[in-house]
Copies of this chain bind each other. A is one copy, B any other.
Amino acid sequence: MQAEIITIGDEILIGQIVDTNSAWMAKELNGIGINVGKITSISDQKNDIVSSLKQAMERVSLVLITGGLGPTNDDITQKTLSDFFGMSLVQNDLLYAKIEQRLGDRGISMNHFNREQALVPDGARIIQNNHGTAPCMWFEKEGKVVISMPGVPFEMKGIMQDEILKSLAQHFSTPVILHKTIMTEGIGESVLAEMLIDWEANLPNCVKLAYLPSPGLVRLRMSLTGDDENKLKRVIEEQLDKLREIIPANIFGYDDYPIELSVAKLLSDKGKSLGTAESCTGGNVAHLLTSHAGSSAYFKGAVVAYSNEVKENVLQVNAADLEKYGAVSQEVVEQMAIGAQKLLNTDYAIATSGIAGPDGGTVEKPVGTVWIAVAGPEEVISHKFYLYKNRERNIRVASLNALNMLRKILEK
């Protein structure tokens, strides 16, 4: 089952915005067994819309169009599609009432332009848009389906999820496709693949596996195809059980759930508090944690100890140890964690100290050397990591590793 996507809008063609809609739609369509064969971005011009649509319909049975429905271009797209399908524009009462109400709420009455907005091609199925006033239209002609949606990402996504994906799965009787993403940490892609050789070889035929590596973590994606959704869900659970036996310590979440929220949930469930003492991560761990609403319930604060002076005076790191072992050392990072735990009066404290780069490396401690410690109520655990040459990546990966160390301790 093949489809094409057409995105309408000058803002894409002048490079003012990146077309993120197409990738999102392609992924969602893949999820219901529909492949996208071509994506075309064109300007808001009648000739371009007609010729692109005509060519696409010669090649495939489904064309999804986004954009070109903004207030200034309404007439063109609705009229263009209406002409193309040999339909006439008629008022849609439901749409009219909705626009009238929206304007009424703001004390404005309908004018000529607003009334035009409610005109839609008489042979099109009008799909409810719960996220704005632009119409969403479903056309059928000679067994082909053409769908026109607004280009504003949240409107398009809302309509797709509310209605279009279900309708398409029904119309084209596509198979059931389920995805499950497992977030892993602490093992590189190739080593992980080796550890999973047997498991992978014994996966049922309905499961396809993909490795999706990104800085600091590897996501495993199982894609399952079949007719029976419940059966596929059981397969997912069985395979997750097996995976959790092979790499128990490395799975930190599912379906792109951020690690700081896994940590947040564990802390909240146990009623424990957290603080951080950050050198090389420069406040990024605190920033990740506080990016989420409700973090004040478990996160008390942080000390970003960028200079040795702050490590000594604020976190009470021993000056002689700083001199003897250097700031990037097990001794110092453990004292930083204990210092933060005491100063901030928390149950747990994370500390980081490393060489983020691009400068500052030595032969013994090259750029990418990072010490991380977690102080808990009973013990301090520390670990040395050898990361990358890139500053941004090192800050990000050190932050993830620090949170992951804490997660493992909290899950014990």
Residues of A within 8 A of B (CB): 12-20, 22-28, 30, 35-43, 48, 52, 55, 275-276, 278, 282-287, 289-291, 293-296, 299-307, 309-310, 313-314, 343-345, 356-359, 391-392, 395
A314 contacts B301, C-beta separation under 8 Å: yes
B306 contacts A395, C-beta separation under 8 Å: no
Check A287/B284 contact, CB under 8 A, given A295-B306, A301-B303, A307-B301: yes
Rounded to whole angstroms, the CA-CA distance of A356 and B294 in the bound complex is: 11
- A18 to B, closest residue via Cβ: B23
Rounded to whole angstroms, the CA-CA distance of A276 and B345 in the bound complex is: 20
Check A301/B293 contact, CB under 8 A, given A37-B43, A39-B13, A41-B39: no
A306 contacts B310, C-beta separation under 8 Å: no
A301 contacts B291, C-beta separation under 8 Å: no
A19 contacts B22, C-beta separation under 8 Å: yes
B22 contacts A41, C-beta separation under 8 Å: yes
A164: min CB distance to chain B, Å: 15
Rounded to whole angstroms, the CA-CA distance of A389 and B41 in the bound complex is: 33
Residues in B with CB closer than 8 Å to A42 are 37-38
Q: List 26 A-B contacts (CB under 8 A).
A: A12-B22, A12-B23, A12-B39, A13-B35, A14-B35, A15-B22, A15-B28, A17-B23, A18-B23, A19-B22, A38-B48, A275-B310, A278-B286, A282-B289, A282-B291, A283-B290, A287-B287, A287-B395, A290-B306, A291-B395, A293-B357, A301-B307, A301-B310, A302-B303, A302-B306, A314-B343
Rounded to whole angstroms, the CA-CA distance of A20 and B344 in the bound complex is: 43
Query: A-B pairs with the 3 shortest C-beta distances?
Result: A282-B290, A15-B27, A283-B286
- Of the candidates B17, B344, B392, which one forms a contact with A291 in the assembled complex, judged by CB atoms under 8 Å apart? B392
